[in-house]
Amino acid sequence: MSFQRRTKWNHPGRNLSIGDVVIVKEDTLPRNCGHLACVSKTYPSKDGYIRSVQVDLGDDALPADGKRKGPVRRLDHPVNKLVLLVPSDADEV
C-alpha cells in the first residue's frame, strides 16, 4: 500500500489586485453560500504579499430594474477567506 504525501505550498501564488471579483467565505454560512464582492483596495505587508484587502459588497436583493438602491458596504477582509472568481487582468492567471 503506497500513500501519496500532501505537498506544502512552497511557491507563491498570484496576489489579489484591485478589480478582482471574489467570493467572501464566511464560517457561519454553508459552503455554497458566499457573498459576491469586488476588491477595491489592497494592503501589502512588509514582505510584499497582499494579506488583506478591502472589498465592496452590494445588496443581496436587487430590484427588478437592477439598480442598487442602498450604499455599497466596504469591508476589510483577509485574503485567506476569499476565493478568486474573475481576475481583473485575464493575462495574470
pLDDT > 70? residue 93: no
Determine the pLDDT at residue 8. Answer: 67
User: In this predicted structure, what is the pLDDT of residue 7?
Assistant: 67
Give the pLDDT mean for 68-72: 78
Q: What's the CA gap between 78 and 75, in Å, rounded?
A: 10
Q: List phi, psi (to 5°) of 80.
A: -70, -10
Average pLDDT over residues 23-45: 89
